[in-house]
Amino acid sequence: MGSVSTPNGWEQTTLGELIEIIMGQAPPGSDCNKVGTGTIFVKAGEFDAERPIVREWTTQPLKYAAHGDVLICVVGATAGKINLGIDCAIGRSVAALRPCNALEQHYLYYFLSSKVLTLRGDSTGSAQGVISKDDLSQIAFPLAPLPEQHRIVAKIEELFSELDKGIENLKTAQAQLKVYRQALLKHAFEGKLTAQWRAENQDKLETADALLKRIQQERAQRYQQQLTDWQTNGGSKPKAPKPLPPLTAAELAELPELPEGWVYVRAEEIAGFITKGTTPSKELLFDGRGEVPFIKVYNLTKTGFLDFSIDPTFVSSETHNGFLARSKVYPGDVLMNIVGPPLGKISIVPNTYPEWNINQAIAIFRSDVISNRLLAAYLAHEKTVRSMMRKSKATAGQFNLTLEICRETLIPLCGQDEQKELELLIEAKLSEVEQLDQTLTTSLQQSEALRQSILKKAFSGQLVPQDPHDEPASALLARIKAERAEIGNNAASPRRTKKVSA
């Protein structure tokens, strides 16, 4: 085990010397139910923050855990996760660790909680991690005198209680920031954020009629440019934009009232290009590096930032200019996921690459009438997302936005000068929100680091003082070994560890 600094009265041993290990076994699926018949049945999926959630039972229990055990996930992505025991049957993804009387249950629980990442990293298996019975038996374990174990557990729980209160406050603050962000966007797109600017800059305001006329002119100019491009490059002739009917009184009645000079417009009136991406076959996608970056939904965020550091995928230039030509995107384009949950992930394409491509779960909004930052902010507004969801197709809990929904989304629009001011105000205030959120996130990370620091001190003898009057752990181990020798250790089947007196 190597050289280990051991506090006075402690002993370094292995877990197998102190516990009985019961590896779970799954009963037939036909003998399981969710109506409360039989014995509670726990698998890895039932593990919760401290004790398992009860949601399944079995009439043919094969392996049992007890309330005084510590449960550990031993198979899969959650291998190493720890829960306190309950009286139940356990499946093959769970093992029950049953301590002898020389080992306090919560002392074992907190020790293993400090080793989750180590246990997970040491797990083996071709498709998924597996922690074996031998792996568990051989875990090096710092055994403190039993009275000190109780003192350590009490101190850990005292410190964790204070830490949890702080974490709860941090999470409450994060939730309040989200509410503030949405309130800010609501005020921004109801014209309240720029009310003072309008009062001080009457000469820079456009009337609603002038704004609508300019939008129609720019829409016609975009079509003329598309015709010119078609005549030069060939391909399919672009369709002339259809005249859009004015908003009805019923539609306007459901919308917040706008200040003078603002108008509601459909997205397709100000975004000349709204379409969605295409997903090629897997053999056309390359992980990590390539010629043209290919954006997936997990690269989108709710802050406008595109995070291409997450599993970056690429396609070849040939695929980009051929099969995927219709879903090219460029720096400044606004992207929105149209398959969820969650909906409302919005990102602006950065200039890291001159051209990008996207999959079929993402829509493109390209506008020269509204600032891309304002467009992204409005599409990310919860009110906008909820409105789209109400019109979407929902299947088995999944929401799918059609391009028609995207194009018909109503957007509040103001004149160009006011847009510039609005963008500055939104960015300044959202920047403050992001900085505060980052501070809270850092504090939460530090809280988790502090939790691990507390556990490290606890199991190195630094959390509470040693008491020379405590019976040393060596005496506990000697008594365990003597009693095991007395009863023999040649049983063919697992049995409960004989309790020893403390």
| Per-chain mean pLDDT for the chain | 90
> Is the domain of 215 the same as that of 75?
no
What pLDDT band is residue 258 in, cutting at 50, 70 and 90?
very high
Which one of 414, 443, 466 terminates a domain? 414
| Alpha-carbon span 120 to 127, nearest angstrom | 14
What pLDDT band is residue 120 in, cutting at 50, 70 and 90?
confident
Residue 77's pLDDT is: 85
* Alpha helix positions (H), 311-415: 317-321, 372-380, 382-391, 403-408
| Alpha-carbon span 180 to 176, nearest angstrom | 6
> Is 176 a domain residue?
no
Residue 117's pLDDT is: 79
| Alpha-carbon span 231 to 233, nearest angstrom | 6
Residue 1's pLDDT is: 40
> Is 25 a domain residue?
yes
> Is the domain of 134 the same as that of 42?
yes
> Is the domain of 124 the same as that of 26?
yes
> Is the domain of 221 the same as that of 304?
yes
> Is 450 a domain residue?
no
Residue 3's pLDDT is: 46
> Is 302 a domain residue?
yes
What pLDDT band is residue 2 in, cutting at 50, 70 and 90?
very low
CATH of the domain at 111: 3.90.220.20
Closest C-alpha to 17, from 140, 126, 127:
140
Enter the DSSP assignment of 326: G
Mean pLDDT score, 189-217:
88
> Is 494 a domain residue?
no
What pLDDT band is residue 390 in, cutting at 50, 70 and 90?
confident
Query: Which pair of structure tokens corresponds to residue 475?
Result: 């005496």
> Is the domain of 247 the same as that of 101?
no
> Is the domain of 353 the same as that of 212?
yes
What pLDDT band is residue 492 in, cutting at 50, 70 and 90?
very low
Contact 48, 64 (CB under 8 A): no
**Lookup result for tokens 């949950």:** 341
Give the orientation angle of helix 105-113 with respect to helix 416-458, to 10 degrees.
Answer: 130
Residue 123's pLDDT is: 61
| pLDDT above 60 for 409 | yes
> Is the domain of 225 the same as that of 116?
no
> Is the domain of 233 the same as that of 371?
yes
Which one of 375, 390, 414 terminates a domain? 414
DSSP letter string, 117-139: HHHHHH-B-SSS-B--HHHHHT-
How far, in Å, are 71, 223, 327, 381 from residue 235 at the CA level? 65, 15, 15, 37
Residue 154's pLDDT is: 98
Residue 126's pLDDT is: 44
Strand partners, 98: 20
| pLDDT above 80 for 138 | yes
Residue 242's pLDDT is: 74
| Stretch (H or E) spanning 357 | strand 356-358
Residue 252's pLDDT is: 80
| pLDDT above 90 for 358 | yes
Residue 451's pLDDT is: 95
Beta strand pairing call for 393-395 and 398-400: antiparallel
For the chain, the domain total comes to 2
Please measure the distance between the N-terminal and C-terminal CA atoms of the chain and give it in whole angstroms: 26
> Is the domain of 404 the same as that of 286?
yes
| pLDDT above 60 for 493 | no
Does this model's pTM top 0.85? My answer is no
Query: Which pair of structure tokens corresponds to residue 180?
Result: 């503030």
> Is the domain of 242 the same as that of 330?
yes
Which one of 126, 144, 162 terminates a domain? 144
Residue 96's pLDDT is: 98
| pLDDT above 90 for 196 | yes
Enter the DSSP assignment of 12: E
Q: Which of 36-50, 122-136, 153-167, 352-366 bottoms out in mean pLDDT, i.e. has the lowest?
A: 122-136
What pLDDT band is residue 24 in, cutting at 50, 70 and 90?
very high
Residue 402's pLDDT is: 92
Nearest 10 degrees: CA dihedral of 354, 355, 361, 362?
50
Closest C-alpha to 80, from 41, 123, 40:
123
> Is 44 a domain residue?
yes
Mean pLDDT score, 398-425:
92
Residue 494's pLDDT is: 53
Q: Which domain holds residue 50?
A: 11-144
> Is 43 a domain residue?
yes
> Is the domain of 284 the same as that of 404?
yes
Query: Cα 411 from chain centroid?
Result: 29
> Is 126 a domain residue?
yes
> Is the domain of 93 the same as that of 235?
no
| pLDDT above 70 for 441 | yes
| pLDDT above 50 for 427 | yes
Phi, psi of 8 (to 5 degrees): -60, 130
- Residue 180: count of CB within 10 angstroms of its CB: 14
Mean pLDDT score, 24-39:
96
The SS3 assignment for 411 reads strand
Of 10 and 280, the one with more pLDDT: 10
Query: For 86-99, what is each residue's pLDDT tens digit?
Result: 999 999 999 999 99
